[in-house]
Structure 1
């Protein structure tokens, strides 16, 4: 099953890192990413651009409205994600722990990914 490992951190903290610190963190994350890819378990990973570049489509009105900024107003922002093929939630949590060791601070949300649009994939029992 595919699991999304969503990377949250305080964007102002990450944005204040020196280039050398940022490169060091990204190198540690690349080592974990390369290990997962070498095992054939990594489908995709991406570092998102700052939330100042985001727009949100508000579909709770007609016509839908495109507004500046990210949808959620939170202390930590979604900064990137990894899509990892894991046997179960425990294996996905293990991959997230490896990523967390490479990049302390913030948090990782681990969420199963529905690969087919079936109602039981979206509303079914927790893995």
Structure 2
């Protein structure tokens, strides 16, 4: 099953974990056969939030939520169950400086689709 491990960091800890450490972990995850994809994100001031309401698009600079920790990157992994996904998430290096949200990826339900 696929799990998305979302890495959240405060702005003070954005660069606390060196890229080389994260890369080494990604290599370990890939060698184990569990990694599907992983990418870091630029800081939140580079984000743009897009909304469409009543057919009108609006854009806002920055992230949607005003929270202490912001989305810093992700690891998309393949794990046999939530426990295995959590065990991998605990090893993600930035977990020492922020938090990792683990969420199962769901398949689209196309059974009710109309043509």
Paired positions, count: 110
RMSD: 1.9
Gaps of 5+ in 2: 111-115
Instruction: Report the equivalent of 1:2.
Output: 2
In the alignment, structure 1 residue 75 sits paired with structure 2 residue 76? no
Provide the TM-score with structure 1 as the length reference.
0.78
User: Is the partner of 1:27 in helix, strand or coil?
Assistant: helix
The match for 1:90 is 83
What is residue 60 of structure 1 aligned with on the other side? 53
Give the CA deviation at 1:39: 1.7
Q: TM-score, structure 2 length as denominator?
A: 0.85
Between Structure 1 and Structure 2, the one with more strand by share is: 2
Cα distance in 2 between the residues matched to 1:65 and 1:34: 39
> Residue 70 of structure 1: SS of its match in structure 2?
coil
Bigger helix share? 1
Q: List 4+ stretches of structure 1 deviating above 3 A.
A: none
Counterpart of 2:113 in structure 1 is none
Uncovered stretches (5+) of structure 1, i.e. residues with no partner: 120-127
Matched, 1:110 2:102: yes
Contact 1:11–1:79 under 8 Å retained in 2: no
